[in-house]
Amino acid sequence: MWSLSKTIAEMNTYDPALIVPVYFPAVTPGICRLVISLFIVYPLSYIHRELVHRKAKTYQLLYFLVSGVAVIYYVLGKAILHCFLNIMLVWFIKLIFGPCRTSVVLTATVTMVYLVVGYIMTTSVEVYDVVWTMPHSIHTMKLIGLIFDYKDGNTDPAELTEDQKKHAIRDFSLLELLSFCFTYTGGLTGPQITFTRFRAFCEGTMKMETDETGKPDSINAAVKKLSTGSIFLAAYLFGGHLFHRDTVVSPTFHDHSLLYRLFYMSGYGQLALTKYIGCWTVMVWGCMLLGISYDSSLPNKWGALQGVDIRGHFLGYSNKGFIDNFNLTTKYWFIRYLFKRTREWGKWTSMMYTYVFIILWHGVLPGYWLAFLFEIPVITAEKQFARSIYHYCGTYESWSPITQTVTMTAARFARYLTLGYGIQPFILLTWQDTSHVYNGLYWGLHVILAVWLLLFNFCIEHRLPPVPRYQKKDKIEDRDYDELKNQEGQSTFSRAK
């Protein structure tokens, strides 16, 4: 018994999840295991291509279930039982109540209450780590969306929108449910995969480009995505030596110059975003290699499940552009299952309901409320400013090349600073740490926004022509997501035309 314990201890000594944090302070053992699990996607997808691709549906489902459970167990250990319990609760709701509104309400309530209680039990404000609430949050969205689709599949098609008809299902089995939730292509960190896409892939009915052997012709696209994701993860690892939480929350942070504090804060915020970009990009390469991310209607046919539009994210020059190009599959889920389905309550009511759900889905600490609600005045001010600029200075196309270059450079620089400023509550989470950082910057952006909003509404808006109301044949709830995807990367200036 003693020798076995000694052997296990020696194995832990060489565990990368314990070694890496010694040299990279921004990384915890949990995060290290998470990153390792992302790269495990490659051998799993390769095995699927070689041995399971185009096999019977049952074999596909079993492969995704067993491999997905193994990956999540490696990261979480016994805490994976929370995921099983959450899924089984929804399965019993489905069996008892069937495809009805009650099932949707109960599923949303049970999964969200379980998630929020989990946040209360596990949330740490000192350091970000990976706990069971991470996959639980992904499963919560999957389960709610699946029950919505199940209800739609048993509803009169005349009462559904085109998008709802596209994703509606008549029924699903327990094996399908477990495989859908635990699949290694999105059971831990996302991306959000619709059940209809997952089922079509397992049944072999998804059309995609193949090579001469009949396998998805996606290796080149997957390798490019892996290289990009690896660069971002490496930047996050090494960036932890330059930008660290302990610095921004320390009492001595205020001793530095205002310029130093401003740029350090922005750099720390950008480093936090790099972590998410790296994880999502590495994960989607596994989806590409597998072939489940194929969509012939997109410019990048293998990029239907990408979590971030990297080009739009870094070349954009507005905070609205950042939102449009970041966390894409999750954003589409919120639009499809929350915002569009509550539009009948009124635009602002629907928007606030969606915001509250998003905030609670992320966590219970005040930093999430501060970060997400801060988006509203920032985006509003951007649109107002762009509208004013076009009225007094003419359209963007009418400017000289030098003016265009200077303006866009200034806009990108302002976006860099405002994004780093606004994301601080999301990173620091507590009011004490957030207010400490903002006190060091004299709440500068808050003051600027307050002054601008008052100035625009009382002194500028009445001088501008009214905003034209475009007549659309289809209401927003009937628009498909291809149209929304085509709008990604547009700037505030282009939207203001």
Percentage, residues of the chain above pLDDT 70: 87
- Placement of tokens 């949050």 in the chain: 137
Average pLDDT, the chain: 85
Q: What is the pLDDT of residues 134-143, one digit of tens each?
A: 999 999 999 9
Distance from C-alpha of 359 to C-alpha of 321, rounded to nearest angstrom: 20
Are 318 and 382 in contact by the 8 Å Cβ rule? The answer is yes
Distance from C-alpha of 2 to C-alpha of 276, rounded to nearest angstrom: 42
Residues ≥6 apart with Cβ < 8 Å to 422? 319, 371, 374, 375, 378, 445
Checking if the pLDDT of 218 tops 70, the result is yes
Per-residue confidence (pLDDT) for residue 21, from 0 to 100: 61
Average pLDDT over residues 145-170: 94
Residues ≥6 apart with Cβ < 8 Å to 465? 391
Residue 30: band (very low, low, confident or very high) from pLDDT cuts 50, 70, 90: confident
Average pLDDT over residues 286-302: 89
Per-residue confidence (pLDDT) for residue 14, from 0 to 100: 59
Per-residue confidence (pLDDT) for residue 127, from 0 to 100: 58
Per-residue confidence (pLDDT) for residue 15, from 0 to 100: 66
Are 139 and 86 in contact by the 8 Å Cβ rule? The answer is yes
Q: Which of 151-155, 264-268, 322-326 has the lowest mean pLDDT?
A: 322-326
The pTM of this model reads 0.87
Per-residue confidence (pLDDT) for residue 322, from 0 to 100: 86
Per-residue confidence (pLDDT) for residue 487, from 0 to 100: 39
Per-residue confidence (pLDDT) for residue 472, from 0 to 100: 41
Residue 186: band (very low, low, confident or very high) from pLDDT cuts 50, 70, 90: confident
Q: What is the pLDDT of residues 448-490, one digit of tens each?
A: 999 999 999 998 888 888 876 544 433 333 333 343 344 333 4
DSSP result, 408-457: HHHHHHHHHHHHHHHTHHHHH-SHHHHHHHHHHTTTHHHHHHHHHHHHII
Distance from C-alpha of 152 to C-alpha of 479, rounded to nearest angstrom: 17
Per-residue confidence (pLDDT) for residue 10, from 0 to 100: 41
Q: Which residue has the higher pLDDT, 316 or 307?
A: 307
**Most confident segment among 99-103, 244-248, 283-287:** 99-103
Residue 213: band (very low, low, confident or very high) from pLDDT cuts 50, 70, 90: confident
Q: What is the pLDDT of residues 228-262, one digit of tens each?
A: 999 998 898 888 778 888 889 998 999 999 999 99
Q: What is the pLDDT of residues 364-412, one digit of tens each?
A: 999 999 999 999 999 999 999 988 988 888 888 888 889 888 988 888 8
